[in-house]
Chains A and B, each alone.
Chain A
């Protein structure tokens, strides 16, 4: 079977860490590079957390690059109320056993795409700053992007504002550039990702695998689950892992095609991914939007991936 080459752009982050495990343990995809951005926390921390997670499970041969420190048109706000001071509180992880590459995130994406014989799929799961800079600065390489499967946005509701999801709310202009790039896009929106949760019982199954990845998953969920229990969510939603799951097996998700355009100027609606499900605007459909997920199958997919790892 041909593995689909992917690049993950993340702001690790609990659910980012689990997305990395899903990618690394799944035979359907090959993780070619990881780039990091400011998002859940400052980029120095998200970069460091990424190296720590990969080191912990013995993956030290994947290039990791540091990217955007802040956003295009607004300052950065961290989400330490969700992910803790370090951006990845909870598990005790050793210092990384390898360093990142000297290239910037955009340069690493550029190099990886340029050198690849096959088209590459991008899986961004933080603010879209790095990806938008890539879109702007490497227009000639866009035909080599198979798809952008990003976690972000919401057709209805939000988690950063009543109508906006955190990643697209952090850098709406970057999101707009990506949405208008002409590259096929899957928007793994909150509409489905809130339902991609892991229950307390399922969490213990991961712990019982007994390998480093399984125990790490459980410990990430121990911490992450507390916040979500406090705000009344059914379990710990694995938002970011959906960006990878939708590449491995799109059939896990109920999808609708729609035009998605960023609200950039709203007083109350800035950062909203305005999703035109009914076609009322007449604008060209540019996204496959997730509206539901087969939760149990999603958890099984993650379980077998984690089992494949150290």
Chain B
């Protein structure tokens, strides 16, 4: 089987860990790079986590550091509460000796897109800053990416503002650039990922199938910290592996980046009132049982 080239753009992150874990367990992927962005923690920390997660899971790929903050706030200090926290609930991973790639995240995305001859898929599961900077720096990139499947946005409720989901909320300007790029997009929105719950008790049971002790210990710790909350980011990866795990509809999606009340909201035109052409395949339903099966299968790969 021809392996599909992908890049995971991520801010690990608890659910990022499981997203990376699922991608790496799937034989059909060729993970060309993991690129990091600030989000769950400052970018130096998310990059450290990405390196260590790759080591733990045996992923051999380039890991490149990306944006330290949102596009329009280049040098604002990140929120104080994330300082000192490692983004993965203080779980300590074995330290990787791998060096961060010499190129920046956006340069790596472009580099790999050129090498992959139109076949590269991006799976961003954090703020979209790196992808936006790549699009700004390399205007021809939009013709070189096969598809972008994001975890982010929502058709209904949000988690940062009433309607605004965190990944889009953290950089709506970047999201706007990605959503208007013309690249085929799939959106795993919060309204859908909230349904993809694998109860902690189930994960504990599944984790008994993990042969690698270090991986098993990490999974158990992260699952406990997370409690009975869905791993949102995993949904994006799962849907790229198994497209029919979800239902989709093509809609026009616009990003609000000005209004204080709806900053970062994904305006999904489900009633076709704007008359604008669809630019995004939006997840509208999800097979949670199949998701649990994929989760259990994933554990057995380690």
A residues within 8 Å of B by Cβ?
69, 72-73, 104, 106, 133, 135-139, 173, 176-177, 180-182, 264-265
Task: With both chains docked as a complex, state the minimum distance between the C-beta of A310 and any C-beta of chain B, in angstroms.
Answer: 36
Given contacts A72-B136, A106-B137, A265-B258, contact A136 B176 (CB under 8 A): no
On whether the beta carbons of A137 and B75 are closer than 8 Å, the reply is: no
**B153 in contact (CB, < 8 A):** no
Smallest distance from the beta carbon of B265 to chain A beta carbons, Å?
Answer: 15
Q: Would you give the 0/1 interface string for B116-159, flagging 1 where the beta carbon is closer than 8 Å to chain A?
A: 00000000000000000100111100000000000000000000
| CA–CA, A106 and B139, complex, Å | 11
B72 touches A176 (CB 8 A): yes
Q: Which residue of A lies closest to B67 (CB)?
A: A136
A264 to B133, CA, bound (A): 19
**Bound form: Cα–Cα A138–B103 in Å:** 10
Q: Report the bound CA distance from A173 to B138 in whole Å.
A: 18
Chain A positions within 8 Å of B138 at CB level: 104
Contacts of B67 in A (CB 8 A): 136
Whether B275 sits at the interface, judged by CB under 8 Å, is no
Q: Which residue of B lies closest to A136 (CB)?
A: B133
The answer to whether B71 and A136 touch across the interface, beta carbons within 8 angstroms, is yes
Contacts of A176 in B (CB 8 A): 72
CB of B169 within 8 A of chain A?
Answer: no
Whole-angstrom distance from the CB of B70 to the nearest CB of chain A? 10
Q: Is there a chain A Cβ closer than 8 Å to B104's Cβ?
A: yes
Residues of A close to B173: CB separation below 8 A: 72-73, 173
CB distance from B127 to the nearest CB of A (A): 13
**Are the C-beta atoms of A137 and B72 separated by less than 8 Å?**
no
User: Closest CB of chain B to A283's CB: distance in Å?
Assistant: 12
A73 near B176 with CB under 8 A, answer yes
Q: Tell me, in angstroms, the Cα distance from A176 to B75 when the chains sit together.
A: 11
Q: Is A72 a contact of B137 with CB atoms below 8 Å?
A: no
User: Can you list 30 contacts pairing A with B, beta carbon distance less than 8 Å?
Assistant: A72-B136, A72-B173, A73-B176, A104-B137, A104-B138, A106-B137, A133-B133, A133-B136, A133-B137, A135-B74, A136-B67, A136-B74, A136-B133, A136-B136, A137-B104, A137-B106, A137-B107, A137-B133, A137-B137, A138-B104, A139-B74, A173-B72, A176-B72, A177-B74, A180-B72, A180-B73, A180-B74, A180-B76, A181-B74, A264-B258
Count: A-B pairs, CB below 8 Å: 45
A180 contacts which chain B residues (CB < 8 A)? 72-76
Residues of B contacting A177 in the complex (Cβ-Cβ under 8 angstroms): 71-72, 74
Alpha-carbon separation in the docked complex, A137 to B65 (Å): 11
Chain A neighbourhood of B107, CB < 8 A = 137
List the A side residues contacting B72 at CB < 8 Å.
Answer: 173, 176-177, 180
Bound: A2/B75 CA distance, A: 32
**Proximity bits, B206-229, A CB within 8 Å = 1, else 0:** 000000000000000000000000
Q: A47 CA to B72 CA in the complex, in Å? A: 28
Closest CB-CB distance, B4 to chain A, in whole Å?
Answer: 27
CB of B183 to closest CB in A, whole Å: 17
Task: Give A236 to B173 CA distance when docked, in angstroms.
Answer: 38
Q: Give CA–CA (A25, B137) in the complex, Å.
A: 32
> Measured between C-beta atoms, what is the minimum distance from A141 to chain B in Å?
11
Residue of A nearest to B139 (CB): A69
Point out the residues of chain A lying under 8 angstroms from B74, CB to CB: 135-136, 139, 177, 180-182
B139–A72 CB distance below 8 A:
no
Q: Which of B39-98 contact A (CB under 8 A)?
A: 67-68, 71-76
